[in-house]
Structure formats: C-alpha cells, structure tokens
Structure 1
C-alpha cells in the first residue's frame, strides 16, 4: 500500500514503543502497532490501536496535571 499522506513511500506494518511528551514530561507508550511510511514517517493506526494510544496519552496527561496540583 502506498502512503495516503505523501504518495511516495510504501506502508510497512511495524510495532514500536512510541515516545510521548506532555508539558515537558516524557513517557513511552509501549508496543504501538500500525502502518508506517518509509518515505515521510507518517503512521496509520487501527481504530482500536488509536483508542489505546489516546487513552494512554490522556492517563499520562492527567497524572502530570494531578502532580502539579
């Protein structure tokens, strides 16, 4: 499959840890699986994986916000 973003690169199925930063704090979302463009670096995720990533980001954001309170 060609990349829907740049049209140049092929999409490759990969699983990687995803670094994430919020308000100057860093974490890693483990074992994120999706299709990665080898040309532009964009990712495509399934709805289920997108939901998991969003939930992990939200939980991290809340923990940082709570620690500031």
Structure 2
C-alpha cells in the first residue's frame, strides 16, 4: 500500500517501540503496531492503537507536569 502522506513509500505493517518527548523529557511507548512508511517515517494506526498511544502520551505528559510543578 502506498503512503497516504508522502505518496513515495510503501507502508509496512510492523510493531515497534515509539520514542516520545514532552517538555524536554523522553520516554518510549512499547509495542506500537501500525503501517510505517520507509520513505517519510509517517505511520497509520487503527483507532484502537491510536487511542492507546494517545493515552500513554497523556499519562506521560501529566507525570512530567507533576514533577515540574513539584520542583
């Protein structure tokens, strides 16, 4: 399947760990499954996987904000 973002690459269905950075702090969201473009690096996720990723990002953001507020 052709990448809907760049139109150049093919999408490959894979599971990867996804790095995420918020406010200068980094984490890894494990076992992210989706269709990844080898040309531009964009990803297409199912609604369920997208929600899981968003929930993980939000939880990390809240933890970072709590640490920063306590400092």
- TM-score when normalising by structure 1: 0.95
Q: Using the TM superposition, give the Cα deviation of residue 23 of structure 1 relative to its aligned residue in structure 2, in angstroms.
A: 0.6
Q: Which ranges in structure 2 are unaligned for 5 or more consecutive residues?
A: none
Alpha-carbon displacement from aligned partner over 1:6-56 (angstroms, at most 9, x marks no partner): 111111001000000011111000000000111111110000000000000
Match of 2:32 in 1: 32
How many residues are treated as equivalent by the alignment?
69
Q: Which ranges in structure 1 are unaligned for 5 or more consecutive residues?
A: none
Whether 1:43 aligns to 2:43 is yes
Structure 1 residue ranges, 4+ long, deviating more than 6 angstroms after superposition: none
Q: Superposition RMSD on alpha carbons, in Å? A: 0.7
